[in-house]
């Protein structure tokens, strides 16, 4: 079986490559809206389903499509990708000094059907100073990242004081769980 990554994320591409899988990449825009009454697990899987539906007609019968979605969940609310500098700063201020969850949903589609997996990592930031938040947003421009941060970037090195769960899940693919999941379904 051939693998297709349905994602524009350079981090997902890098992580999947590091697992040793060969794959091609497809991207499609789809509606990533969700019902805020849904649980975080339901949200990530519903968005994965939309991504699968948007790309399914571009997959050959001998291929397996992998789509993923990652959200940051704080105090019962989803922090998505910021639309601008002010939103990025606001999100990082919300995360400062608090614990939040990062959920990633994964969905595979192939001739055997659809298979899914959800992972959750708990991340805690120390109190972040305004000048550090401003520096990070201005230097790293985290506008393509849920919750306005990349844990592998400067803000993760100076701000994250605790992680419970998969580090790579916070980057967008829980590689430790994804590897056996792919091996079982390819």
Going from the C-alpha of 16 to that of each of 48, 67, 111, the distances in angstroms are: 17, 12, 21
How many residues are listed for the chain in this entry? 186
Return the structure tokens found at 112.
Answer: 């055997």
b/e string for 89-98 if b means 16 or more Cβ within 10 A? bebbebbbee
How far apart are the C-alpha atoms of 44 and 74, rounded to whole Å?
15
Q: Is there a catalytic annotation at residue 119?
A: no
Angle between helices 85-95 and 130-140 (to 10 degrees): 130
Task: Indicate which residue of 35, 57, 69, 119 is catalytic.
Answer: 69
Count helices and strands in the chain by DSSP H and E runs: 7, 7
114: left (phi over 0), alpha (psi -120 to 50) or beta: beta
The residues that are catalytic are 69
């Amino acid at each position: 079986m051939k693998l297709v990554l349905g994602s524009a994320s350079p981090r997902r591409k890098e992580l999947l490559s590091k697992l040793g899988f060969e794959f091609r990449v497809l991207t499609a825009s789809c509606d990533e809206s969700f019902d805020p009454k849904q649980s975080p697990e339901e949200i990530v899987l519903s968005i994965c389903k939309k991504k699968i539906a948007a790309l399914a007609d571009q997959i050959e019968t001998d291929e397996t499509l992998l789509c993923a979605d990652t959200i940051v969940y704080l105090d019962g609310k989803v922090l998505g990708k910021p639309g601008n500098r002010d939103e990025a700063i606001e999100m990082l201020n919300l995360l400062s000094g608090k614990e939040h969850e990062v959920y990633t949903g994964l969905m595979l589609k192939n001739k055997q059907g659809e298979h899914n997996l959800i992972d959750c990592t708990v991340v805690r930031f120390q109190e972040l100073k305004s000048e550090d938040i401003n520096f990070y947003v201005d230097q790293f421009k985290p506008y393509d990242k849920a919750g306005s941060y990349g844990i592998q970037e400067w803000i993760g090195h100076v701000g994250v004081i605790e992680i419970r769960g998969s580090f790579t899940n916070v980057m967008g693919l829980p590689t430790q769980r994804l590897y056996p999941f792919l091996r079982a379904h390819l």
